[in-house]
Amino acid sequence: MPKVTRYDAPRVIDSGSIWILVAAPTIWAVHFLLSYWVAAVYCAKSGSGWLGGLTDPRWIIVGLGGLSIAAIVWLGMIAVRRYGGVFVVLEEITDSSEQGRERFIGHVALLLCALSAVAIVFTVIPGLVFDRC
Amino acid sequence: MRRGTSILFGVLFLTALGGCDGRHNWMAGAGEEAAAIGDLFLILMVGAAVIWSLVVGAAVYAHRRRAHPGLEREARLFVIWGGVVFPVLLIGALLVWGLFLLKGITADEGDLTVRVDGERWWWRVTYETPTGDVVTANEIRLPQGRTALFRLTADDVIHAFWVPALGGKMDMVPGRETTLALTPKKLGNWGGLCAEFCGGAHALMRFDAVVMAPDAFETWLAREAETAQVAADDPGFQVFLDEGCGACHTIRGTQAAGPVGPDLTHLAGREKLGAGLYEMTPEHMARWITDTHAMKPDIDMPPYPHLSGPRLDTLVDFLMRLE
Ligand SMILES: [Cu+2]
């Protein structure tokens, strides 16, 4: 009965393990928000000598971007280790089994990690070019 | 129907082209900053046209050809390189280029500094000179070939400072100072305007940006720095004081020192009246005073409909002598 085996594996969504998909874009969004907050606070306070003067704004920008990308790399490693994600484009991941679905999630998570990392770099670049308020 | 649509689009296109002409033309090459943006625009347009043609060409080609399942690997690689890696690098490069261009335009140094404060709905202009500030309004004169640094602020709402032919634009934000550098290359009277909706008379908030030869500019600035020559018993000035104009307007060198409206010390030296709107003629001046809100709706200056006859004439005559 081939029809039945198609649906035999438990749906991953029920096992609650798809958080890995949203994690990387969430970091991207949080980094984006933080960039605005940190810049606003920095620009408001830099005149008053609090924080400002001490630190070159570039270091804050690089630090924030570096931390976010490190978090994404760590997520990428989880996607590979725990989900068996692979970074391939020449092969389709279409297995209809529990393991196949996990691999698919790992694969998508990896691609999202790459996308989010590129997006964060694009957010960091303007901060590096404009090192002032 | 189809014919009608294409005619409509043709007409719209030609009308839009009309905007490319004259003193608001941002492609006139009148300023270095506008020219830099023009170059970026050209490269973007040509690049986009080439890429679009290639993509559409590839789609047409793919549609015509029979499928080759054996080429799947190559096709996927093509999509990855052409559809992901190439655009990311290209957009990254354009981003960096555009940012550096913007950084140059918003630089904070210049050969001369002009502060402009956006008011509803006119421009308070202050030239910083070694001998002190020179205050004027609604007309900005610039020396050819020198970089003018504009320090922009706003009084109560957001405006935007734009001289399309020279460069810009830049927001003017209450409580903040933004900067914009403009280096005019061509002599002429280029139009400037407010480019951020700011209320009732927004569309009538303009100014003249007059580019002059450097020594003519120096002469003009020295004249602008002088106080007005007003005799104490000038009858027109008496009317000006009696009507209370001096509560809002300043005429330097007299007791009129109101801070609300534009400085009128060298009013008649401007080419236009009412923030870049009307030719500076006695007729326009008289109407500006008596029928103010028909000339420019919503503005903070009250109309003086009761002024007429010789009294109005003396006042207008006095104002037209403020050169
Ligand atoms: Cu406006």
- Which residues of chain A make contact with B99, given a CB cutoff of 8 A? 125-126, 129-130
Query: What is the Å distance from ligand 1's center to A104 Cα?
Result: 53
- Sequence ranges of the domains in chain A: 25-129
The span from the CA of B264 to the CA of B252, in Å, is 8
Contact B239, B172 (CB under 8 A): no
Report the pLDDT value the prediction gives residue B12, as an integer from 0 to 100: 62
User: What is the mean pLDDT of the segment spanning B68-73?
Assistant: 84
Lowest mean pLDDT among B8-17, B230-239, B313-322: B8-17
- Torsion sign across C-alpha atoms A85, A91, A92, A94: negative
- Torsion sign across C-alpha atoms A104, A108, A113, A114: positive
- Which residues of chain A make contact with B103, given a CB cutoff of 8 A? 129-130
The span from the CA of A114 to the CA of A31, in Å, is 15
Is the model's pLDDT at A50 over the cut of 90?
Answer: no
Q: Which of A90, A118, A125 sits opposite B99 (nearest CB)?
A: A125
Mean pLDDT computed over every residue of chain B: 91
Band (pLDDT 50/70/90 cuts) for residue B9 is low
User: What is the mean pLDDT of the segment spanning B93-109?
Assistant: 86
CA-closest candidate to residue B230, choices B251, B258, B257, B261: B251
Report the pLDDT value the prediction gives residue A6, as an integer from 0 to 100: 45
Which residue of B lies nearest to A89 if distances are taken between CA atoms?
Answer: B76
Peptide bond into B121 cis (omega under 30): yes
Contact A24, A109 (CB under 8 A): yes
Band (pLDDT 50/70/90 cuts) for residue A8 is very low
Domains, chain B, in order of start with CATH, read: 1-65+106-213 (2.60.40.420), 235-320 (2.60.40.420)
Per the model's pLDDT, the better-predicted residue between A18 and B166 turns out to be: B166
Per the model's pLDDT, the better-predicted residue between A51 and B137 turns out to be: B137
CA-closest candidate to residue B168, choices B185, B156, B153, B180: B180
Q: Which helix (H) or strand (E) holds A129?
A: helix A98-129
The span from the CA of A97 to the CA of A5, in Å, is 9
- Which residues of chain B make contact with A122, given a CB cutoff of 8 A? 91-92, 95
Interface test with A, best of B74, B85, B95, B105 (most A CBs within 10 A): B95
Is the model's pLDDT at B281 over the cut of 70?
Answer: yes
Q: Give percent of chain A with pLDDT exceeding 90.
A: 31
Each residue of B286-297: pLDDT tens digit? 999 999 999 999
